[in-house]
């Protein structure tokens, strides 16, 4: 079920094309700050309700990142678990054809699950405008996430939060949950800053050494043998979920949602948790950890590097400009959130308050029900 409130969704578009077997939808949540920005996912189970929640998350993320983008998201229902390249192109082309009136004035797309740069090339060419989407191939002016924009942003959020706590990042111990594009790049930049990686996990397990792990060996294990547990060095191999229990200064989440559950909060020893992944815990878990003195940098603050990179691509910027903007915006906004949260450490509430205020300043129709604290 889609939830409506004083912020949106503004528009839900259902797209059908029986000739090619297309059923897709776009949820444009809020365009007060600019066209709705959000990726397109292609799965058998995607629904309007799922896409609506993701669109709202993009509304907050873009507002908090202080970008001239609103929030949106789209989905196409796949007819198989592993659609071919040709089938993806056929669906994306038909989807784009149906959205020409809304793109890019109201919606700007991007890759998401089962959608990559090849599909974005088709999308942009069908619309006839490079600004129709981001995540395009490099030859079309794309800035691929393989450059590490999200992980770079997570690093800067960690750096700011550590300084806020009086924690020396150069001597801090770090655990990273997930070692893909986000966790891998975060680990790279953190280790280059002198932090000690002591635990890194992926779906196959957790590699741990309290004296530190070598970043290059971790990368080699992942890239050459498929998992960090193939690490070529002295280390213990543990169950991947043990990552939340490690006695470290900083835990960076970079993989699955709902990582820390309410009955596990007493197992978390990290002083600082930086959410590189989306929704790694509920708000109840976050507030319980905050009450225990833990500092959390919320997901839509820490992992906004990807959408900031998308904006640089959207305006025709280059790689150097992208890294500069990611550093400046993540640093500024993380500081702002931590200052607003103050001693309560309720950082998500502080971040949402900043995002909402930025939207309310520009939105002529948004309604904030102060009495019931509804938006």
With beta carbons less than 8 A apart as the criterion, state whether 275 and 304 touch: no
Q: Residue 279's Cα: distance from chain center in Å?
A: 9
Residue after which a domain boundary falls, among 84, 113, 142? 142
The residue assigned the tokens 């971790």 is: 218
Domain membership of residue 87 as a residue range: 11-142
Return the CATH number at 85: 3.40.50.10860
Q: Which of 120, 102, 103 is nearest to 111 (CA)?
A: 120
Nearest to residue 204, comparing CAs of 180, 187, 188, 182? 180
Whether residues 137 and 272 share a domain: the answer is no
Report how far residue 201's alpha carbon sits from residue 251's, in angstroms, rounded to the nearest whole number.
Answer: 11
Contact by Cβ (8 Å): 136, 124: yes
Token representation of residue 7: 């912020």
Distance of alpha carbon 275 from its chain centroid, rounded?
9
Instruction: State pTM to two decimals.
Output: 0.93
Strand partners of residue 118? none
Residue 166 sits in the same domain as residue 135: no
In a domain, 350, yes or no: no
Contact 9, 52 (CB under 8 A): yes
How far apart, in whole angstroms, are the C-alpha atoms of residue 111 and residue 118?
A: 9
User: Would you put residue 279 in left (φ > 0), alpha (ψ -120 to 50) or beta?
Assistant: left
Same-domain pairing of 192 and 108: no
Please tell me the distance from the alpha carbon of residue 238 to that of residue 182, in angstroms, as a whole number: 22
Give a yes or no: residue 356 inside a domain: no
351 occurs within a structural domain: no
The catalytic position among 19, 37, 53, 73 is: 73
Could you say which DSSP state residue 281 is in?
Answer: S
In a domain? residue 372: no
Is 197 in the same domain as 331?
yes
- Told to judge if 121 belongs to the known catalytic residues of this protein, a careful annotator would answer no
Q: Is 177 helix (H, G, I), strand (E, B) or coil?
A: strand
**305 and 209, same domain (yes or no):** yes
Residue 258 maps to a domain: yes
Residue 139: Cβ-neighbour burial (10 angstroms; 0-12, 13-18, 19+): exposed
Residue 208's CATH number = 3.40.50.720
Q: Which of 85, 110, 142 lies at the terminal end of a domain, its last residue?
A: 142
User: In terms of Cα–Cα distance, which of 110, 90, 73 is closest to 17?
Assistant: 90
Do 123 and 201 belong together in one domain?
A: no
Per the structure block, which two tokens stand in for 89? 């192109």
Residues 363, 327 contacting (CB under 8 angstroms) = no
238 and 324 within one domain: yes
Q: 112, 142, 172 — which closes off a domain?
A: 142
Q: Is residue 349 in a domain?
A: no
Residues 124 and 158 in one domain: no
Please report whether residue 4 resides in a domain: no
pLDDT at residue 369 in the model: 56
Q: What is the mean pLDDT of each run of 10 residues along the chain (375 residues)?
A: 92 97 98 97 95 94 97 96 95 98 97 94 97 96 90 98 97 96 97 97 97 97 96 96 98 95 97 95 96 96 96 96 98 97 93 95 80 41
Looking at the fold, whether 193 and 270 belong to one and the same domain comes out as: yes
Q: How far is CA 277 from CA 154, 181, 251, 309, in A?
A: 10, 11, 12, 17
Q: Are residues 209 and 337 in the same domain?
A: yes
CA–CA separation, 56 and 27 (whole Å): 9
Measured at the CA of 292, the angle between CA 261 and CA 350, to 5 degrees, comes to 85
The answer to whether the beta carbons of residues 213 and 206 sit under 8 Å apart is no
Pair 81, 123 in one domain = yes
Residue 243 lies in a domain: yes
Distance of alpha carbon 34 from alpha carbon 42, whole angstroms: 25
* Predicted local confidence at residue 344, as pLDDT: 87
DSSP state of 280: S
Q: At 200, is the secondary structure helix, strand, or coil?
A: strand
- pLDDT score for 364: 86
User: Contact 131/104 with Cβ under 8 angstroms?
Assistant: yes
Is 257 found in the same domain as 291?
yes
Q: What are phi and psi of 370, to 5 degrees?
A: -60, -40
Q: Which residues contact 2 (CB under 8 A, 6 or more apart)?
A: 9, 12, 27, 48, 49, 52
């Amino acid at each position: 079920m889609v939830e409506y409130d004083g912020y949106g969704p503004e528009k839900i578009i259902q797209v059908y094309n029986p000739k090619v077997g297309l059923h897709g939808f776009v949820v444009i949540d809020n365009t007060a700050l600019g066209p709705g920005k959000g990726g397109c996912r292609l799965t058998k189970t995607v629904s309007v309700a799922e896409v609506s929640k993701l669109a709202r998350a993009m509304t907050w993320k873009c507002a908090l990142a202080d970008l001239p983008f609103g929030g949106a998201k789209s989905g196409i229902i796949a007819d198989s678990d592993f659609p071919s390249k040709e089938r993806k192109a056929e669906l994306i082309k038909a989807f784009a054809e149906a959205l020409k009136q809304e793109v890019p004035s109201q919606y700007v797309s991007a890759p998401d699950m089962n959608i990559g740069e090849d599909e974005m090339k088709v999308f942009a060419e069908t619309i006839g405008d490079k600004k129709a989407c981001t995540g395009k191939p490099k030859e079309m002016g794309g800035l691929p996430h393989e450059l590490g924009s999200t992980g770079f942003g997570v690093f800067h959020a960690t750096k700011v939060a550590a300084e806020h706590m009086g924690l020396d990042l150069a001597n801090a111990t770090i655990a990273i949950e997930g070692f893909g594009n986000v966790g891998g790049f975060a680990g790279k930049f953190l280790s280059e800053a002198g932090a000690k990686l002591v635990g890194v996990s992926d779906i196959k397990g957790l590699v741990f050494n309290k004296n530190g792990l070598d970043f290059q060996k971790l990368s080699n294990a992942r890239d050459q043998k498929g998992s960090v547990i193939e690490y070529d060095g002295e280390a213990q191999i543990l169950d991947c979920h043990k990552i939340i229990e490690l006695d470290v200064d900083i835990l960076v989440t970079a993989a699955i949602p709902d990582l820390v559950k309410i009955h596990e909060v007493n197992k978390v020893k990290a002083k600082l948790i930086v959410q590189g992944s989306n929704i790694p815990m509920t708000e109840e878990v976050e507030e319980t950890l905050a009450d225990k003195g833990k500092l959390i940098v919320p997901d839509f603050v820490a992992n906004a590097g990807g959408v900031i990179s998308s904006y640089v691509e959207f305006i025709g910027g280059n790689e150097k400009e992208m890294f500069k903007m990611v550093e400046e915006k993540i640093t500024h906004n993380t500081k702002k959130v931590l200052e607003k949260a103050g001693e309560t450490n309720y950082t998500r509430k502080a971040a949402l308050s900043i995002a909402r205020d930025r939207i309310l300043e520009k939105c002529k129709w948004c309604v904030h029900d102060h009495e019931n604290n509804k938006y």
